[in-house]
Structure 1
Amino acid sequence: MAPAGLLDAFWGYERALMANDLVALDGFFAPGPQTLRADAGGILVGHDAISAFRRGRGGAPARTIGDVHVRRITDDTAVVIAQTLPSTGGRGQQTQVWCRTTDGSWVIEAAHVSQPAAAIAAAVWRVVGSPLVAGAASGPLVGQTVAVKDLFAVAGFATGAGVPAFLAARAPAGDNATVVAELLAAGASVQGIAQTDEFAYSIAGRNAHYGTPPNGAVPGAIPGGSSSGPASAVALGQASIGLGTDTGGSIRVPASYQGLWGLRTTHGAVSRAGMLPLAPSFDTVGWLTRDAATLELAASVSVDAAAQRSLEPSFVVDPSLVALATPEVQAAFASAVAGLSVTSVDLGDPDELVEAFRVTQAAEAWMSDGAWVDAHPGALGSDIAARFAVAKGITEGQALAGASAFDGARAHLDRVLGDRILLLPSASSAAPSTTAEGAELEAIRGSTLRLTCIAGITGRPALSVPLMTVPVETTAAAPVGLCLVGPRYSDLALIALGAALMAPLVE
């Protein structure tokens, strides 16, 4: 027997949910920092975090309610378990702990939501198999599964670059990209082709056509891009290796946002044959994993071991770069490097450095994709279209001046850094909320690019280590990566060093 008024409250909540009545929904969840809501994406703690999540998701999927079961705990507390029947088919359920308030109304203290399992999460995967392509029967990567960013050729499948209109006109690839072939030969299987931001020209992780992949570490946050699909697939446990690209931070940023290991390799150290370019002066191949050992295995099958060099752990920090991060990230960074012997350096004006990067990247992006973009107006989302519009406006004189500034910045950074390892945050903030407006995301992007462009300009390898956490609206421990930028061809040594820095936290 349900306590008086409870079922009325339950059905009132359901009507508010289907109407996406955010004010009413806020009233149905108990106020305060102890309220809980959980689903496959994670646990939200506190009324404010739950409210922020609802604002960002844009409404719950349409459904009806099947069986409803009530178990009284006390006169003022009860558990309600309801079967949910989504309009798309399948069955789910929700479990809620309801409590009666002093004024006699009922509110939810804790809720757990379970949806029918999706065969393919379209925001993460463009195409997936079990596996899509089997790897060799023996090798160091047997048992590993790979989410391939939709920039790499996979034999028998077209490459779509995150743009449906581009995909529609592409023929299936005849051969695998070199790095895909190397992973397969080492025993890894291709689980599927994972989504990317359009033409990889973003570090946010949003795609206007396929949606925003979920952040596997921070409920209600963006995943980071443009290797967004591979990063989310790894963070969600749907693959063990994400094969991605990094031009201006597209591996390091999603690694930072989702608590992953992410390596941008030395420019030119790994073959880009069979990979769609964005800005060839900066484009690199890399991987995202949940642990250092898997990252080292993945990297080892593609980098030339004979060209790799050892490292002396001599660390430098540029305070002007660290100051670009949020106060919470600055504090976490200071704590992370506190036990290290660190020398302060001045790498130059971050605005001038990022401008040298930006102009050259934009000019090359237009050379890579501009003809197609011009021929297909309306095919891109507004943010990426605006970025290409700026790229189109780069004059020949500006491009030449940018190339000169780029060469000068590279020489200057090499003189200052030498063989030392630059430490900095992998991103300027923890993952922003999916509710973040365009202006806020652009500001975060600008600050983050000033951090990530150093590796791009110098062609040096950069490793994001999931070493830091900061509080955000939806969780007390959102990940932020510690980035190690090492001398060229120190890729494998950087992974070993990152593992050594991480070791005290996992012992």
Structure 2
Amino acid sequence: MPDPVRSAAVHADAAVPDGLLDAFWRYEDALMADDVPTLDALFAEGPWTLRGDAGGLLVGHDAIAAFRRGRGGAPQRQVVAVHVRVLDATTAAVVAVVEPRTGGRGQQTQVWRLGPAGWQVLVAHVAAPAPAVDGRVWREVGTPLVAGAGSGPLAGRRVAVKDLFAVAGRPIGAGVPAYLAAARTEPATAPAVQVLLDAGADLTGIARTDEFAYSIAGANPHYGTPPNARVPGGLPGGSSNGPASAVALGQADVGLGTDTGGSIRVPASYQGLWGLRTTHGRVPRDGLLPLAPRFDTVGWLTRDREVLAACSRVSAIGAPAVAAPERFAIAPRALEALEAPVREAFLRWTRSLEVEETDLGDLVAAQEAFRVVQAAEAWASYGAWLTAHPGAVSGAVADRFLAASRIDAAEAARARADLEAHRARLERAVDGVILLLPAAASVAPQTTADPTTVDRVRTATLRLTCVAGIIGAPSLAAPLLEIGGAPLGVALVGPRDSDDALVHRAAAFPAA
């Protein structure tokens, strides 16, 4: 009786080499069983083995093995046809047509080579049926969801709105299913959304965020982690993760997000995008669900600088415009704690500029004051709701809210006083210059990174990003660096209301 799993028709242009189909079916069986050791053994060792899919290209056996360990198995499917093209006695291309249990058809293409360890895969590409909507990226989507004015400086641009902004007729979900379930239908659209519609852009949809936007990693345990379009298997960066991934994947041209501690700049850095945290209060925050109002700002993520400049211009009509300083400065002490590849890549890039040096003082203490004030405000925003809905958030976000619940009024008051002292010192340190910093403390960590590693990266990143937050200054993340093929942004911090000038000045910067 034929094996129903291996009953797919085989089409070959020549006699199939001995053992090839057996190796192919061992691979398929291991894939369906999530037998990672067998899968690893069937892929050729070395740095040149390739595996690609819509999420990107993995280069090298070790990178592919790490991806397998973290994905938790492949979707169940049935092979319906196998096409073999024999290239020579030891090399063959195999294309399998597959039907996932969820419907549709896909393909898996592999180049196999016969060596001392038997038949092994050299190159693999997986093409799955495209989902109508990727629920990791989008909460709600349309064609468009809301049409814009049709003409204007943003005509034809597609906008992904972070799930914190009011869109008339729809609720705000804030990345938390229990919150979405009880949320009211919004009576009006937030001004920060409406101004883009009035400028001609269409609202494609409402995009995901981390739980209550209290993270810069980009993972959401309820809806899944949006893909990083530049780093296969990498975290997308948060909390504006959905808008960032939508833009990086080409599903939107503008990601409308928020930045409290780095939530625009970090995903921009991780995914090779332009991202602007605006001057605090420059863009109206009406219709925006808060996290920590002392630091919350509106901003945008784009693939190119010109679209970002247009978003800034149309969104801050009537706001003052300040020229950006002509001088640039770096803060060597702020770089000392960074890992060597990040520090060296950044300093190598700055050698193409004329830069001064400045001292930002004790950033560890500044970050701690920032953390306490942010936490106190976050608990003021959501503490009552979270107390009434235990278990609604989880993981690192739940831990942060728990810590926030323990901050008493006296501790919060001390932190606010400390914060003012740090603000005054930082303003003096960057007076008359544009401060240059890495936009994040690392390239995107893998989604499989252990929580301790993710938290360490978060702490090191916030030490850089809190500078603009404490001052209330604009900060532009520009996609100018790469480390091992992964993007790393350069952050420009300028005087308050120099937003447009910062974006303009960045046009002259060299990319690494």
Q: Under TM normalisation by the shorter chain, which class is it?
A: over 0.9
Does residue 1:336 correspond to 2:349, yes or no?
yes
What is the CA-CA distance between 1:312 and the residue it aligns to?
2.6
What is the CA-CA distance between 1:407 and the residue it aligns to?
0.9
Q: 2:250 is aligned with what amino acid?
A: G
Kindly provide the CA deviation profile for residues 383-413 of structure 1, in whole angstroms up to 9, marking residues without a partner as x: 1111000001001100100110111111111
TM-score in terms of structure 1 length? 0.97
Structure 1 residue ranges (4+ consecutive) displaced by more than 2 angstroms after TM superposition: none
What is the CA-CA distance between 1:306 and the residue it aligns to?
5.2
What is the CA-CA distance between 1:427 and the residue it aligns to?
0.4
Does residue 1:304 correspond to 2:317, yes or no?
yes
Residue in 2 that maps onto 1:489? 497
Residue in 1 that maps onto 2:108? 94
Measure, in 1, the Cα distance between the counterparts of 2:327 and 2:311. 26
- The answer (yes or no) to whether the contact 1:316–1:420 under 8 Å persists in 2 is yes
Residue in 2 that maps onto 1:7? 21
- The answer (yes or no) to whether the contact 2:31–2:74 under 8 Å persists in 1 is yes
Match of 2:486 among 454, 475, 478: 478
TM-score in terms of structure 2 length? 0.96
Measure, in 2, the Cα distance between the counterparts of 1:36 and 1:119. 27
Measure, in 2, the Cα distance between the counterparts of 1:125 and 1:140. 25
Does residue 1:117 correspond to 2:125, yes or no?
no
What is the CA-CA distance between 1:342 and the residue it aligns to?
1.3
Higher alpha-carbon deviation: 2-11 or 49-58: 49-58
Residue in 2 that maps onto 1:55? 69
Size of the aligned set, in residue pairs, is 498
- The answer (yes or no) to whether the contact 2:440–2:461 under 8 Å persists in 1 is yes
- The answer (yes or no) to whether the contact 2:282–2:319 under 8 Å persists in 1 is no
Kindly provide the CA deviation profile for residues 169-200 of structure 1, in whole angstroms up to 9, marking residues without a partner as x: 01211110001000000000000000000000
Q: Which runs of 5+ in 2 are unaligned?
A: 1-14
Q: 1:489 is aligned with what amino acid?
A: D
Measure, in 2, the Cα distance between the counterparts of 1:312 and 1:487. 8
What does 1:201-212 correspond to in 2, within 5 Å?
A: 201-212=214-225
SS in 2 for 1:73: strand
- The answer (yes or no) to whether the contact 1:150–1:162 under 8 Å persists in 2 is yes
Q: Which runs of 5+ in 1 are unaligned?
A: 472-476
Does residue 1:423 correspond to 2:436, yes or no?
yes
Match of 1:34 among 26, 45, 48: 48
Residue in 1 that maps onto 2:79? 65
Higher alpha-carbon deviation: 37-46 or 263-272: 37-46
Measure, in 1, the Cα distance between the counterparts of 2:265 and 2:337. 16
Percentage of pairs with the same residue: 58
Measure, in 2, the Cα distance between the counterparts of 1:317 and 1:306. 28
Measure, in 2, the Cα distance between the counterparts of 1:215 and 1:125. 14
SS in 2 for 1:172: coil
Kindly provide the CA deviation profile for residues 313-339 of structure 1, in whole angstroms up to 9, marking residues without a partner as x: 211111121223221111110121112
Measure, in 1, the Cα distance between the counterparts of 2:486 and 2:336. 19
Does residue 1:465 correspond to 2:478, yes or no?
yes
Measure, in 1, the Cα distance between the counterparts of 2:379 and 2:318. 34
SS in 2 for 1:243: strand
Match of 2:406 among 384, 388, 393: 393
Q: Alpha carbons of 1:310 and 1:182: their partners in 2 closer, same or farther (altered >3 Å)?
A: same
What does 1:392-411 correspond to in 2, within 5 Å?
A: 392-411=405-424
- The answer (yes or no) to whether the contact 1:325–1:427 under 8 Å persists in 2 is no
Q: Alpha carbons of 1:220 and 1:454: their partners in 2 closer, same or farther (altered >3 Å)?
A: same
Match of 1:320 among 319, 327, 333: 333
Residue in 2 that maps onto 1:158? 171
What does 1:359-398 correspond to in 2, within 5 Å?
A: 359-398=372-411
Measure, in 2, the Cα distance between the counterparts of 1:25 and 1:305. 60
Kindly provide the CA deviation profile for residues 346-383 of structure 1, in whole angstroms up to 9, marking residues without a partner as x: 11112101011001000000111111111100111121
Measure, in 1, the Cα distance between the counterparts of 2:246 and 2:334. 31
Match of 1:252 among 245, 258, 265: 265
Measure, in 1, the Cα distance between the counterparts of 2:505 and 2:33. 52
- The answer (yes or no) to whether the contact 1:63–1:87 under 8 Å persists in 2 is yes
- Alignment RMSD, CA only? 1.0
SS in 2 for 1:301: helix
SS in 2 for 1:307: coil
Residue in 2 that maps onto 1:218? 231
Q: Alpha carbons of 1:204 and 1:313: their partners in 2 closer, same or farther (altered >3 Å)?
A: same
Measure, in 1, the Cα distance between the counterparts of 2:338 and 2:138. 31
Match of 1:449 among 452, 458, 462: 462
